[in-house]
């Protein structure tokens, strides 16, 4: 009787030892399957449709979107294009908008390999379809001939805050504009610029609660131009101070006549302390 009990105990111990590798493998598979999916990026593009930005400029914007931005988009990213015009805030409507599906996450303990492979292929096909649809929609939206009298950039930035506020992904804001605000009571190309202009403007906007919270947002500007180099420098210095006050990450190298230093790093602050001459001060040759 005693021999039988000892044999059972030995057998139970042996089975327990044999089960340990299997349990460890199962735990490993479960942990890997529960690993967070890639965070993704929310990309918002505001395109200037005012009189100061011509059709040729928008052809360039379209090329940058098609050749640089859309190919870079990854599964789980979102993409939105909206206009800058004289009714930016009151009649906001995205011109282009889509979310790219996430890739399925493989769980070696629970998933069927063949099923996962099929779902992965279907997802890749869906991503390709979404990107192609975005190209078609972008071409149609930026090919429109409508032009607005005013350029309400400030309202676009307030909208950007709302668009990003509930999003936990990385955030990238791209402004395709000459950055000449021209909406009452401001007209950047007609007002005198002195040493006190920028701080006075920022104080006025702050008092009106017209400076958005863009903390954690990486900002790019493409299309910067002005009638004179002096005006371009003054406007560039204003926007640099404005985005700093808004908490956004706009490195001077990303404020330019064309889209430079794309794609963004995982954290835009990685290059926030980089030196060099701002692109808007170097002139068109820098782009």
Return the pLDDT at 9: 54
E strands present in 66-222: 78-84, 96-99, 170-176, 182-183, 186-187, 217-222
d(CA 153, CA 93): 15
CA distance 88 to 207: 21
Q: Could you give the CA distance from residue 195 to residue 213 in angstroms, rounded to a whole number?
A: 25
- The answer to whether the beta carbons of residues 86 and 48 sit under 8 Å apart is no
175: β partners: 46, 221
Instruction: Give, in words, the CATH class of 41-286.
Output: alpha beta
Q: How far apart are CA 152 and CA 89, in angstroms?
A: 8
Structure tokens at 64: 């940058």
Domain ranges of the chain: 1-35, 41-286
- Give residue 31's pLDDT: 42
Distances (CA, A) of 81 to 91, 213, 217: 14, 20, 16
Residue 137 tokens, joined: 């929609």
Tens digit of pLDDT at every position of the chain (287 positions): 555 554 455 544 444 444 444 433 344 444 444 445 567 999 999 999 987 777 788 899 999 999 999 999 999 999 999 999 888 777 788 999 999 998 877 666 556 677 777 777 888 889 999 999 999 999 999 987 777 788 899 999 999 999 999 899 999 999 999 999 999 999 999 999 999 999 999 999 999 999 999 999 999 999 999 999 999 999 999 999 999 999 999 999 999 999 999 998 776 653 333 344 444 444 443 33
DSSP secondary structure string for all residues of 53-112? S-HHHHHHHHHHIIIIIHHH--TT-EEEEEEESTTTTTT---SEEEEPPPPPPP-TTT--
pLDDT for 144 equals 78
pTM over 0.85: no
Structure tokens at 241: 């101070």
């Amino acid at each position: 009787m005693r021999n039988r009990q000892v044999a059972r105990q030995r057998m139970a111990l042996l089975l327990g030892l044999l089960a340990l590798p299997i349990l460890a493998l199962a735990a490993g598979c479960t942990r890997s399957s529960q690993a967070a999916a890639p965070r993704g990026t929310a990309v918002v593009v505001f395109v200037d449709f005012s009189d100061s930005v011509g059709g040729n400029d928008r052809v360039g914007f379209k090329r940058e979107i098609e050749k640089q931005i859309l190919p870079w988009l990854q599964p789980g990213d979102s993409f939105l294009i909206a206009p800058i015009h004289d009714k930016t805030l009151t009649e906001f409507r995205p011109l282009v908008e889509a979310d790219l599906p996430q890739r399925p996450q493989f769980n070696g303990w629970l998933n069927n390999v063949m099923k996962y492979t099929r779902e992965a292929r279907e997802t890749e096909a869906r991503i390709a379809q979404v990107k192609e649809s975005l190209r078609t929609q972008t071409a149609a939206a930026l090919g429109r001939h409508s032009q607005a009298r005013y350029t309400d950039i400030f309202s676009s930035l307030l909208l950007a805050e709302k668009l990003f506020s509930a999003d936990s992904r990385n955030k990238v804001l791209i402004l395709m504009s000459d950055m000449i605000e021209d909406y009452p009571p401001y007209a950047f190309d007609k007002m005198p610029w002195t040493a006190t202009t920028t701080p006075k403007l920022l104080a006025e906007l702050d008092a009106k609660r017209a400076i958005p919270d863009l903390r954690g947002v990486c900002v790019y500007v493409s299309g910067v131009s002005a009638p004179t180099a002096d005006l371009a420098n003054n406007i560039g210095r204003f926007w640099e101070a404005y985005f700093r006050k808004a908490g956004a990450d706009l490195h001077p190298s990303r404020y330019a006549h064309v889209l430079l230093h794309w794609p963004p790093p995982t954290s835009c602050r990685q290059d926030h302390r980089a030196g060099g001459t701002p692109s808007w001060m170097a002139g068109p040759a820098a782009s």
